[in-house]
Amino acid sequence: MATRTPVKKAAASKVQPGKARSAPRKAATGAGKAVTSSATPSVQVKLKTALAGLRAASTQRDLDNLPRFGIAATNPLGVSMANIQAIAKRLGRSHELAAALWETNCYEARMLAAFVEEPGLVTAAQMERWCRDFDNWGICDTVCFKLFDQLPHAWKKVEQWQDRKEEFVRRAAFALLASLALHSKTSSKADFLRSMPWMERGASDGRNFVWKGVSWALRSVGRRDKPLNTASVALARKLAASTDPTSRKVGKEAFKELTSAAVLRRLA
């Protein structure tokens, strides 16, 4: 997701449809295998429609962009984020379709699942199952940014995942924390202040996608309001003075941004 995590509205791909698009590609080997056995007939029809839409929108250019952005995707087709969102809009919300899309183990189908899922029907157990399947920052950040941060279980999962050993589970904790900082209207200052020790510990994780997630989270919390900026700057200063090289990197990056004129003007 580069010293700053490039995940905003189009978390999994910066590629946008352009005039010089490549011809649609055929599905990658094993991608979107027919239909899951648990899907009802009506969901099977929707799933076939969704997969056909993804295949029609796929291009070699978008497929080639995945490794360029550090996304080691499983069974990729090569579909831009803009086209995934357009397909999701046509399909509408469906909890059953989201489950069927996820079970295909196709990268873009799982991305699509994050957009068609019904937030009110997602359980803590489902969050855990999907999180265990995360294998790249694109799917991790998109699911957290577009779905998980809307759920009542979000803070509990941040707390549970922030100390886990698996790289993308731990990444998910900080991607979800960043998403809450950017989107949540119900989270309190106390919630974010409680996360400061989690970010301090996570900052020393030398794995690329973990420390970048911590950096994203710290910078997002520090941009939320003035008191949280003060607390985040204090943590950034502490990390920047650390003997641990990864912590120093996170601290210096966050301190530079959170004390910048642009951030301070906005908070004022």
Our count of domains for the chain comes to 2
So what's the pLDDT on residue 37?
53
**Are both 127 and 158 inside the same structural domain?**
no
Per DSSP, 259 falls in state T
Last residue of one domain, picked from the residues 126, 151, 176: 151
Is the pLDDT assigned to residue 168 strictly greater than 80? Answer: yes
**Are both 130 and 28 inside the same structural domain?**
yes
Report the pLDDT averaged over residues 75-84.
97
CB 258 within 8 A of CB 232: yes
Split at pLDDT 50, 70, 90, the class of 240 is: very high
**Are both 136 and 181 inside the same structural domain?**
no
pTM for this predicted structure: 0.86
So what's the pLDDT on residue 9?
40
**Are both 131 and 41 inside the same structural domain?**
yes
**Are both 68 and 134 inside the same structural domain?**
yes
Report the pLDDT averaged over residues 13-40.
47
CB 43 within 8 A of CB 94: yes
Report the pLDDT averaged over residues 92-103.
97
Domain of 45?
1-151
Is the pLDDT assigned to residue 213 strictly greater than 50? Answer: yes
**Are both 83 and 171 inside the same structural domain?**
no
Is the pLDDT assigned to residue 3 strictly greater than 70? Answer: no
List, for residues 57-78, the tens digit of each pLDDT value. 999 999 999 999 999 999 999 9
CB 180 within 8 A of CB 158: yes
The pair of three-digit structure tokens given for residue 233, joined into one six-digit string = 């700057």
